[in-house]
């Protein structure tokens, strides 16, 4: 990987961190009409996000052992983008169904956040270990690279949290914000694929 593609990978990791926390924060807003806004709502949301991120790390790490490439990295973003879209499209009927079948709003909200956020967050969780695989070239520096990556993606998460909760909710509808996250993830995925193709062409040309 060249210096430029490394910068791209850090940037993408930053954006995925931003989107993950933005979506998590809006989760509370999405669930409230059906399950209230009490502390157990956050219990459900955070549990589901942590659980799916943990599975995502495992899967992403596994995937990175098989011919890792920037194109596959971009594909993860594209899939994540597609998986986020159902949150905007189907959250109402899904929550309505769960609400009418489960009386206890603790388990209702747990099931609803699983239905809405589990799969997209798994995919988003795959990004971190895959980024490490693409960035590390020297095992001596692997810790430093991982540290830098966590720094960048967690900084993204912090900004995603504060900007969404302070400003986005004041300016846009929940679905508009989520769609913007999906669009961002998708475009970044495409960008990674395009750049990888260009870089490969260049390398072929040089040979």
Partner 1 sequence: MFKYLLLPLIVFSSFTFSEVIHEERSLYRNIIVEETGNLRCLKFNTKSSQTSQSCMYKNDPDKLVFNYTKLTFASLLVIDDPKNVLIIGLGGGTLSNVIHELYPAAKIHNVEIDPAVTKVARDYFNFIENNVVTSSVQDGRIFIKRAAIKKEKYDWIILDAFNGDYIPEHLLTKEFFEEVQSVLAEDGVIAANTFSSSKLYEHESATYHAVFGDFINVSRENRSNRIILAGLKAPPTNEQINVRVKALASRLGKYDIDIKVISEFMDFTKDGQDWPANTKVLTDQYSPANLLNF
Of 27-35, 61-69, 74-82, 196-204, the window that binds partner 1 (rule: CB under 8 A) is 27-35
* Nearest distance, CB of residue 15 and partner 1, angstroms: 24
Of 59-67, 147-155, 169-177, 184-192, the window that binds partner 1 (rule: CB under 8 A) is 169-177
* Nearest distance, CB of residue 88 and partner 1, angstroms: 10
DSSP states along the chain = --HHHHHHHHHHHHHHHHHHHHHHHHHHHHHHHHH-SSHHHHHHHHHHHHHHHHHHHHHHHHHTTTT--HHHHHHHHHHHHHHHHHHHHHHHHHHHHHHHH---HHHHHHHHHHHHHHHHHHHHHTHHHHHHHHH---GGGHHHHHHHHHHHHHHHHHHHHHHIIIIIHHHS-HHHHHHHHHHHHHHHHHHHHHHHHHHHHHHHHH-
Site residues for partner 1, window 75-134 (CB under 8 A)? 99-100, 105
Of 2-10, 78-86, 112-120, 173-181, the window that binds partner 1 (rule: CB under 8 A) is 173-181
Q: Which of 1, 11, 29, 180 is the binder for partner 1 (CB under 8 A)?
A: 29
Residue 205 is a binding residue for partner 1 (CB under 8 A): no
Residue 38 is a binding residue for partner 1 (CB under 8 A): yes
* Nearest distance, CB of residue 159 and partner 1, angstroms: 18
Of 115-123, 147-155, 170-178, 188-196, the window that binds partner 1 (rule: CB under 8 A) is 170-178
Between vectors from CA 159 to CA 143 and to CA 63, what angle results, nearest 5°? Answer: 45
* Nearest distance, CB of residue 92 and partner 1, angstroms: 9
């Amino acid at each position: 990987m060249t210096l430029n593609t490394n910068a791209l990978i850090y940037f993408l990791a930053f954006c995925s961190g931003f989107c993950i926390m933005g979506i998590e924060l809006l989760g509370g807003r999405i669930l409230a009409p059906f399950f209230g806004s009490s502390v157990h709502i956050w219990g459900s949301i955070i549990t589901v996000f942590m659980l799916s991120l943990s599975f995502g790390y495992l899967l992403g790490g596994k995937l990175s052992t098989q011919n890792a490439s920037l194109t596959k990295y971009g594909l993860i973003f594209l899939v994540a983008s597609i998986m986020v879209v159902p949150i905007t499209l189907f959250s109402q009927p899904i929550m309505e169904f769960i609400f009418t079948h489960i009386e206890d709003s603790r388990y209702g909200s747990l099931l609803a956040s699983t239905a809405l956020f589990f799969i997209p967050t798994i995919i988003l969780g795959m990004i971190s270990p895959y980024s490490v695989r693409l960035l590390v070239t020297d095992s001596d520096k692997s810790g430093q690279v991982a540290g830098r990556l966590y720094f960048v993606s967690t900084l993204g998460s912090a900004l995603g949290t504060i900007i969404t909760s302070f400003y986005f909710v004041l300016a846009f509808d929940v679905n508009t914000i989520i769609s913007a996250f999906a669009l961002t993830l998708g475009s970044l995925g495409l960008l990674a694929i395009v750049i990888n193709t260009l870089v490969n062409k260049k390398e072929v040309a040089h040979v």
